Amino acid sequence: MTMEEHDVTTCYRHPDRATRLSCTTCGRPICVECSHDASVGQKCPECAAPAPGARVIQARNTIGRPSFQSSPVSFTIIGITAAIFVAGYLSPDIDHWLLTNLSQVNVLVSLGNWYRIFTAALLHGGLMHIGFNMYALYLFGPRLEQQVGGPAFASLYVATAGAGGLAAYAIDPTGRFILIGASGAIFGLFGAWMFVAWKMRKTPGGRAMFNQLGVLLVINMALPFMIPNISWQAHLGGFTSGILIAWLWSVFAVGKPNARMIRTVIAAAMALLAIALTIFI
C-alpha cells in the first residue's frame, strides 16, 4: 500500500521531513526529532516548554531508567547498604561491631533492643545476599517511589523491614540466632506491587504484571525450604505488611490532595505499630 501524495505533511520546523505526527496541544505537524513525550501523546518544542519556575522530567528519560534524580530514596538506601557491606568486608573489626550492635538477635530484642528489627536490614552475609536484595530494590523501588513520593516510600521500606523483623521475633522471642538482611523490606515491596497488580488485574497490563509477580513470589517463598538459614518468617511479615499498607493507601489516600502525606503517615504508623508489638510481646 502506498501513501497518497495529498496525505503527506511536513514538520513545521523541518519542511524537508514528511511526518504524520502532530502536536496534541496545537495540532502542528512535527517530526520525530521535534516530538516531546507527554502524559498523553506528544508535543512540539514550544508547547512542551516548561512554565516559568516549573521542573520537567521527560518521560523517555525516567520510564525504565531509574536514576538518583527521579528516585533518590531508593538509590540512597542502596548506597548506604552497599557502603556498610563494603566496610564490613574490608575490616573484620567493623564487621564484628556491625553484627554485635545492629543484627537481630531475638534474645537481645527481648531485653529492650527493639531497634534491631529495623537495623538488621542494613546487614548482609555475602555478595549473593546483598546482590539479590539490592537488585530487587533497584527493580521494584524506583517506580514505586516515583508514584507515591520519597517520604512515603522510605516509610514503607522501614515499616516492612520492621514487620519482617517482628514476624521473625514473634516466632521465637528468646532465640539466639542472628538475623540479617533486607528481605523483609524487599518482600514488602513485592506485597505493595502485588496489591497494585491485583487492583489492575482486569486490564491486560495489570493481569500480566500480577502473573509475573506471582511467579517471582512463588519462587522466592520456596527458597527458604530449599536453602538453609533463610527466614521465611521475615519474608512473610514483610510481604503481608506491604499488602496491608498498599491497601490502606488505596482506601485513605487515593484521590486526596494531600495523598503523599497521608501515605507517609500510614506507613510510619505501621512502623510504630511494629515497635509497640515487639516491646509488648
Rounded CA-CA distance 124/184 in Å is: 13
Residue pLDDT, tens place only, 247-258 = 999 999 988 889
Q: Of 4-13, 42-51, 167-176, where does the model show the most confidence?
A: 167-176
Rounded CA-CA distance 135/121 in Å is: 15
Contact criterion met (CB below 8 Å) for 160 and 235: no
At 3, is the pLDDT very low, low, confident or very high (cuts 50, 70, 90)?
very low
Per-residue pLDDT at 206 exceeds 60: yes
Strand partners, 10: 18
Neighbours of 133 (CB within 10 A): 19
At 221, is the pLDDT very low, low, confident or very high (cuts 50, 70, 90)?
low
Give the DSSP letter string of 135-176.
HHHHHHHHHHHHHH-HHHHHHHHHHHHHHHHHHHHHH-TT--
Per-residue pLDDT at 93 exceeds 80: yes
At 4, is the pLDDT very low, low, confident or very high (cuts 50, 70, 90)?
very low
Per-residue pLDDT at 192 exceeds 80: yes
Q: Going from the N-terminus, what domains does the chain have, and what CATH number goes with each?
A: 9-56 (no CATH), 72-280 (1.20.1540.10)
Determine which of 47-56, 118-127, 225-234 has the lowest per-residue pLDDT on average. Answer: 47-56
Which pLDDT does position 137 carry in this prediction?
A: 93
Determine which of 15-29, 215-229, 238-252 has the lowest per-residue pLDDT on average. Answer: 215-229
Q: Which of 108, 155, 100, 157 is nearest to 278 (CA)?
A: 108
Per-residue pLDDT at 27 exceeds 50: yes
Average pLDDT of the chain to the nearest whole number = 83
At 97, is the pLDDT very low, low, confident or very high (cuts 50, 70, 90)?
very high
At 57, is the pLDDT very low, low, confident or very high (cuts 50, 70, 90)?
very low
Rounded CA-CA distance 137/237 in Å is: 17
Residue pLDDT, tens place only, 124-174 = 989 988 998 999 999 889 999 998 999 999 999 999 999 999 999 998 888
Top-confidence residue, 216 or 267: 267
What is the pTM for the complete model shown?
0.74
Residue 91 Cα distances to 114, 128, 180, angstroms: 26, 19, 18
